[in-house]
Amino acid sequence: MIRIGSYYYRSHILLLTAAIVFLLTGCTGSGSKLVADKVNIVTSFYPLYFLAKEIGGEEANVINMIPAGVEPHEWSPKSRDLDTVSKAQLFFYNGAGLEGWVDDFLKGLSKDSKLVTVAASRDIKLIPAGAAADGQHAGEEEAHDDHEGGFDPHTWVSPKSMILMAGTVRDHLVEADPSHAKKYEGNYASLTNKLSALDDEYTEKLAAAASKDIVVSHQAFGYLARDYGLNQVAVMGLSPDAEPKAQDLLRISKFVKEHGIKYIFFEELVSDELARTLAREADAETMVLNPLEGLTPEQEKKGDDYFSLMELNLQNLLQALQ
């Protein structure tokens, strides 16, 4: 039997986030100051920062709002963030319910702000929150969380989605700064060539995998599963601070044993305690599957980016699915 009485997952997340915020300062690989002679872009979290930096190149000044090591589900903006955003030209946020603070935040913009706000997920066919659980085996119910009734916001975890989001970033950069349109178009073409190659690699290698079932701690891989033929079985719901029920853990433990699952995936920005407990009960091992919501300080120092982490994700997926 699995004991969960001592596991207060939400508390673990909040304590971990608070500790990291206390220890860390600065933004993810960016400055926090506006630059007069460049187009100023503010992004809500790492995947959009990556796209804006790659496409904007030297002509754009990109500021990321969430510091390295902070889980975006638990983050909320401060007054200084509003001041910075209001003076920028572009603000890219994911949308689809990821940034629950965004509507109230944007209402605070000054009346003379010329900021253009863009939900980068707007061209993606979104997965309804309920449907994210429908594909799970054995009639498993989705853990209740703050996305219930909305959509799965984790679009960027699929390279196919990132290609569409890159197009949205390019279009608005060209519109905001047409004098550098050719450079933005060239940077976009280079980036999407790499994303297309990554998409092809995922398609080919995951299609050949013996198994298609992945057991994850956080239900963040719905778009990856949809686009590459996988079945996601999640311990938690769409938000990593949703609390599991004893019956959910027992059911997933049974699923792991019956289907010969070798690995249970956890992510780096939240506690791995629950995944390790479930793995011990089900006689499985744990492994990282990164939802790429942000870089850790160590990854930032090493120079990791979306591509290097998605390549590592693919290696781990192939090992788990063999």
Q: Which CATH class is domain 132-138+205-321?
A: alpha beta
**Alpha carbon separation from 171 to 155, 228, 245, 286 (Å, rounded):** 19, 27, 44, 41
146 burial via Cβ count (<10 Å: 0-12, 13-18, 19+): middle
Quote the CA–CA distance of 298 and 87 in Å, as a whole number. 31
Amino acid, res. 241 = D
Where are the CATH 3.40.50.1980 domain residues in the chain?
26-129+154-196, 132-138+205-321
CB atoms within 10 A of CB 97: 20
In this prediction, residue 273 carries a pLDDT of: 81
In this prediction, residue 75 carries a pLDDT of: 86
List the alpha helices (DSSP H) in the chain: 9-23, 46-56, 79-86, 102-107, 129-134, 159-176, 181-207, 222-228, 246-258, 273-282, 297-302, 306-321
Quote the CA–CA distance of 31 and 13 in Å, as a whole number. 27
In this prediction, residue 58 carries a pLDDT of: 97
Tell me which residue of 250, 259, 233 sits closest to 135, measured CA to CA. 233
Quote the CA–CA distance of 147 and 95 in Å, as a whole number. 12
Enter the pTM of the model: 0.84
Please tell me the CATH superfamily of domain 26-129+154-196, with its number.
Nitrogenase molybdenum iron protein domain (3.40.50.1980)
Centroid of chain to Cα 134: 21
pLDDT tens sequence for the chain (322 residues): 444 444 344 444 444 443 433 333 333 334 568 999 999 999 999 999 999 999 999 999 999 998 877 878 778 898 899 999 999 999 999 999 999 999 999 999 988 889 999 999 999 999 998 765 544 433 333 333 444 459 999 999 999 999 999 999 999 999 999 999 999 999 999 999 999 999 999 999 999 999 999 999 889 999 999 999 999 999 877 666 566 778 888 889 999 999 999 999 998 777 778 888 888 888 999 999 999 999 999 999 999 999 999 999 999 999 999 9
Q: Are strands 151-152 and 127-128 parallel, antiparallel or unpaired?
A: antiparallel
CB atoms within 10 A of CB 256: 22
Quote the CA–CA distance of 57 and 170 in Å, as a whole number. 11
